[in-house]
Structure 1
Amino acid sequence: MLLAVDRDGDPQLIAGTGQLLLQASPRVWLRLDEATRRYWWGAPRWSEAAVQRLSRGESSPLGLTVAAFHPNGRVREAAVAQLAEVHDTLAVSALTLRASDWVPRIRDRARAALEPRLTEPPGVPVAAAAIALALRERRQGRWLADRVETAFSEGPVELLTAALAASDRRTRRAAHLTALAAGRLDLTQMLHAAEHDSDLLIRIRCAEAAVRTATVAGTVDLVRPLLSSGTAMVRAEAVHVLAREGDVTPAVSALTDRNPTVREVAQAVLRRAGADPLEHYRRLVMTSRPRPGAIAGLGETGTAEDAGLIAPWLDHPQIRGRAEAVRALHRLGAADPDALFPMLTDPSGAVTRQITRALRPWASRLDLPRLRELLTVGNPQHIRTAAYRLLHQRDTWTRLLIDLELVADPSPPMRNRALSDIKSWLTHEAATAYSMPQDRTADALAQHLCEAEDALGPDLVRRLRFHLGLTRRSGA
């Protein structure tokens, strides 16, 4: 398409295409460079026309950009020479790609053209930064990436401000981390990034830096907004630093946080302050509708004797409440299979996953007909999956019987899971399965294997017959 636009020469189309390229991600630029270079070989007439326009000095910035992707090094070098004279953001992006070119002369010319532009108005180096940082791991890519980071560290404030707000994640991350290391961000900027940036690493690093800065300045109260951050590590950091300054109230509130890391920090704070988080959790769980975090916290700090406080919340109205109740009972070694087994029909997969984990130790004792009933096609996927996992844990022959039943299941996830498990058993466990299925179990496996032949294919069927000792039986 770029070759066609460049060839046709329509000014509006060229301008519009240039704008689209300016908005493109670094990944698009890198793929475009590679794809266009391959395509040139199959378009000799277009290639010749583009080279002629280049030699006459008639190429637009878009045409020069396309020429900079050419497989012929002389053409790329000529394009770079002309791009060096063009004060256009599109030219900067093309030069950035060629600054890591494998041909030294092209690479050097592109770098010489780019170096002075890193101190130009903010938009120019920021446009180069996204591509330069994406090229860092290439053999010749580090040079420009290092120059960009130096510009963030030592360049004009306007450049840093533009980079901190860039849409490209790599650029924002490099700008924030470089500026933090250079001490170029004030507390307000750190707090804003810690609360609002979409990149997790930026949020965490800025929160840590904000806490250090506020502590040194004696303005720890300014980090309170971080207590409501959407990032668990940021909330935990705020709880920790406020407690260090003598305020444990946020830690009390954080005891019921949705994240275990934050709860752990809050629990440690209370213990250091001479309080017992367990007593807090016991009181919280006895309220009319405890938060899921309170149930989880009691499971983290309590004993088996607390099971009586947790068990009523297996009927918690919130999904997370029920899931945390199951998890807490399991953690305390107080899971009751008779109470949990009926919950396998819970409408939430988050709950049935916790129930499955808790019931695994009793898998061989669970109601087999009921598990088979839950595995049938009419049930929701998460219920079928829970039943499958528990049947899988029961014993080897039940596991393989269920797998053979499911290899032709109408549900792709169930089919794939069963087939994958059969292959895994053959690869990792079959050779050490010294016992063989007997009597009715062997008959059932032989029948299921016959029924699954089309789904399994002859090789898997042959290997299964051999390892299950069914070869004589099938030949009889």
Structure 2
Amino acid sequence: MDGWDEETMRAVVRVCDGATPEEAFDIASAGAWLAFDAGVRNPDDRPWLFTRPHGEPERPAPTLLDRLRGRGGPRAAPPASPPPPPPAVALCHPDGRVREAALDAVRTAPELRPLLVVRCADWVAPVRGKARALLAGLPGDALFPLAGLILRLARRDRGDFARTLLEDALRAAPAAGVLALTSAPDRATYRLAYRIAVDRGLLAPTELAAVAATCGDVTLQDLCAEAAVAAVGPGGAAGPDGAAVLERLLAARPPRVRSAGVTALRRAGRHGDAEPFLADRSAVVRACARYVLRQGGVDPLPLYRELCAAPATHPAAAAGLGECGDRATDAGALWALVEHPVPTVRLHAISGLRALDVVVRERLTPLLDDPSPPWCGRRPGRCCRRPPGFRSTCCANGVRPRGRARCGWRRTGCCGRRGGSGLRSPGTGDALPGVHRRAGRGGSPGVRRWAVRSRSGGAPPPSAVRSGACADHW
């Protein structure tokens, strides 16, 4: 919620009219509190903040005759003092003296503590000092509901005080309070909670391995995987659950977690268990497996050659062979795998050829029209530079199925021949709208505009011709 949007303005008006913050906006959102603070502190075009008190008579302006006679017009009753603003508005008032005086209301109003946290990063030193003294006097567990706001304000120049208090409170709090924050919806909050829990040893190695294997946050994956690996000692696993920790890491879906598990095999003395990961789908995991085997005195190259003898069972072995193979000896085997009937084998064989730097563009050209699903999400054209004057056959065909049209766009960055004939549906001559939409989202702005105009026969821009994003250049 932005400090200038209509939702914020409605919230500020409601609080000025006597509503509580809980009734006006979502008090669980750190962004809502910051937007409310910004909305009150910026009084431009906000007449509801400086209105005349209700019942005060309007004083008429002096007329020209009154000014000539030296009079100021009819006398009016002295203006009544405006009513004090609500505490929530006073804590965000543009005047620093008003904000400083309003801090006393927080002692008896716990629902205003989020604004107390905001004032701890105030730009006025007296306001900031008083707010910090009040926040430091709160019990540690009172800061946990404010963790999301505290961590967001920590990005400001004067926002580190509240973060330090929160970290100290988490390190001294009972384990239940810290573990409760690990399930917080705010990313910064649960990351800090996990970091404190790992430092204090509040999570078992099996729990850390489970979090690393199932969490989608890569920061937590690294944190928990490294902490779980630390429980594996030389010669075996420390504790009865050490083997279960390694198995959980090795079976994880994220490659960075599997690579941590493979590396931990060396500390556990299980070098031979890294051999199945030589053909892992991730290059990082394959590199870790080769490292562990070499540390155990095993050369991975002969193993790769054996795996490539049955490539359908281990498709990624072709990529691993290129990563550690010999250019003169193994290039021929990889070129033979380029013709393999299994699409994933062909894909990894090209990756191996790139690793060996033995790519021949003319031999890979027929693969641009490969309609198999593993190829649709890749760009074999990345294996080599775009030669001038080279035309892709996938863009030269006038009538193409929808799937192959999409493949052509993904592989070459091309949205069809001039006039959009490369994106025509078979038998109808109509342009494929879905492919045009995908084409319009990629490339430079000029190419995107051409993708829209191509349905009506528009010519490609010069930038598209120079960059090879049209049919004349791949």
TM-score by length of 2: 0.69
Q: Say whether residues 1:154 and 2:172 are aligned partners.
A: yes
> Which of 281, 288, 296 pairs up with 1:258?
281
Cα distance change on mapping 1:128 and 1:218 into 2, 3 Å: same
Q: Say whether residues 1:345 and 2:369 are aligned partners.
A: yes
Q: 2:107 maps to what in 1? A: 84
In 1, distance between residues paired with 2:168 and 2:32? 25
In 2, distance between residues paired with 1:206 and 1:160? 16
Q: Say whether residues 1:221 and 2:243 are aligned partners.
A: yes
Deviations 1:13-54 (Å, cap 9, x if unpaired)? x64545x221x2x3443344324422x342233455799665
Cα distance change on mapping 1:34 and 1:9 into 2, 3 Å: closer
In 2, distance between residues paired with 1:131 and 1:374? 57
In 2, distance between residues paired with 1:228 and 1:371? 39
Q: Say whether residues 1:45 and 2:48 are aligned partners.
A: yes
Q: 1:195 maps to what in 2? A: 213
Q: Say whether residues 1:3 and 2:12 are aligned partners.
A: yes
Give how far 1:156 is off. Answer: 2.8
In 2, distance between residues paired with 1:221 and 1:311? 40
Q: 2:191 maps to what in 1? A: 173
Q: 2:128 maps to what in 1? A: 107
Give how far 1:2 is off. Answer: 0.7
Which has the larger share of helix?
Answer: 1
What SS does the corresponding residue of 2:27 show, helix, strand or coil? helix
In 1, distance between residues paired with 2:392 and 2:179? 66
Give how far 1:351 is off. Answer: 6.3
Give how far 1:342 is off. Answer: 1.4
Give how far 1:386 is off. Answer: 4.9
Cα distance change on mapping 1:232 and 1:385 into 2, 3 Å: closer
Higher mean C-alpha deviation, range 147-156 or range 109-118: 109-118
What SS does the corresponding residue of 2:385 show, helix, strand or coil? helix
Deviations 1:329-374 (Å, cap 9, x if unpaired)? 232244343431011223469668553233328x35x755858737
Q: 2:38 maps to what in 1? A: 34
Q: 1:356 maps to what in 2? A: 381
> Which of 154, 177, 180 pairs up with 1:136?
154
Matches within 5 A, 1:292-303: 292-303=315-326
Q: Say whether residues 1:416 and 2:416 are aligned partners.
A: no
In 1, distance between residues paired with 2:184 and 2:296? 43
Give how far 1:167 is off. Answer: 1.6
- Please, which runs of 5 or more residues in structure 1 have no aligned partner? 390-408, 421-450, 465-476
What SS does the corresponding residue of 2:179 show, helix, strand or coil? helix
In 2, distance between residues paired with 1:327 and 1:354? 11
Q: 1:116 maps to what in 2? A: 137
Give how far 1:125 is off. Answer: 1.6
Letter in 1 for 2:382: R
Letter in 1 for 2:444: N
Letter in 2 for 1:223: V
In 2, distance between residues paired with 1:416 and 1:375? 24
> Which of 323, 328, 331 pairs up with 2:355?
331
- Residues 339 and 346, structure 2, Cα contact 8 Å, conserved in 1: yes
- Residues 284 and 294, structure 1, Cα contact 8 Å, conserved in 2: yes
- Residues 375 and 387, structure 1, Cα contact 8 Å, conserved in 2: no
Deviations 1:164-206 (Å, cap 9, x if unpaired)? 2222111122222234344454434433432333322222122
What SS does the corresponding residue of 1:147 show, helix, strand or coil? helix
Letter in 1 for 2:15: D
Give how far 1:266 is off. Answer: 0.4
**CA RMSD between the two structures:** 3.8
What SS does the corresponding residue of 2:279 show, helix, strand or coil? coil
- Residues 340 and 346, structure 2, Cα contact 8 Å, conserved in 1: yes
In 2, distance between residues paired with 1:76 and 1:349? 62
Cα distance change on mapping 1:77 and 1:386 into 2, 3 Å: same
> Which of 311, 326, 330 pairs up with 1:306?
330
Deviations 1:253-286 (Å, cap 9, x if unpaired)? 2112222111111012122223232222223233
In 2, distance between residues paired with 1:177 and 1:282? 43
- Residues 349 and 383, structure 1, Cα contact 8 Å, conserved in 2: no
Letter in 2 for 1:44: P
Higher mean C-alpha deviation, range 375-384 or range 138-147: 375-384
Cα distance change on mapping 1:230 and 1:73 into 2, 3 Å: farther
- Please, which runs of 5 or more residues in structure 2 have no aligned partner? 1-9, 55-80, 415-435, 449-457, 467-474
Cα distance change on mapping 1:290 and 1:372 into 2, 3 Å: same
In 1, distance between residues paired with 2:109 and 2:140? 16
Give how far 1:326 is off. Answer: 1.5
Letter in 2 for 1:133: L
Cα distance change on mapping 1:259 and 1:54 into 2, 3 Å: farther
Length, aligned pairs only: 388
Letter in 1 for 2:149: I
In 1, distance between residues paired with 2:330 and 2:185? 50
Higher mean C-alpha deviation, range 236-245 or range 316-325: 316-325
Letter in 2 for 1:30: L
In 2, distance between residues paired with 1:385 and 1:37? 49
Letter in 2 for 1:416: S
In 2, distance between residues paired with 1:271 and 1:139? 49
- Residues 96 and 124, structure 2, Cα contact 8 Å, conserved in 1: yes
